[in-house]
Amino acid sequence: MGTLLGFDYGTKKIGIAVGQTVTATATPLTTLLAKQQKPDWDKISKLITTWQPEALVVGMPLDLDDTETETAPRAQRFARQLEGRYHLPVYMADEKLTSMVALQELRGKRIQYGDADAFAAKLILETWLSEQ
């Protein structure tokens, strides 16, 4: 497939990572702030243009018992919007515990606001890549 973009969707922030199918690895890219609880489509479009991904992966918020969280419908809607706007395949990936793991991985490092969200997007993308 090639290059993929991964998204850790939230109503306030969206973490984004880039990954490669060849290496099955990902790198945190950025965290975008939402505008009135809506994605910053202009900045997402710039990332799509820059990275030319073959597909997109959005984290699916699940509880530990694999039931959908209250934010799951919003993440699914975001995924449908990505597919409609960019005409790329969009896959959902389990994002269970990714934010907690991201915070643990970044503990003790100098981080900026939103770094954990981009790192969570990296984990989401790598989870999806490892399952393919």
Q: How many helices (H) and strands (E) does the chain have?
A: 4, 5
Q: Check residue 37 and give its pLDDT.
A: 82
Inter-residue contact 125 to 4 (CB < 8 Å): yes
pLDDT band of 100, cuts 50, 70, 90: low
pTM: 0.84
Q: How far apart are CA 87 and CA 48, in angstroms?
A: 11
pLDDT single digits (tens) 40-81: 999 999 999 999 999 999 998 877 777 777 888 999 999 999
Is the per-residue pLDDT at 36 higher than 90?
Answer: no
pLDDT, average across residues 119-124: 90
pLDDT at 99 over 70: no
Task: Domains for the chain: give ranges and CATH numbers.
Answer: 3-131 (3.30.420.140)
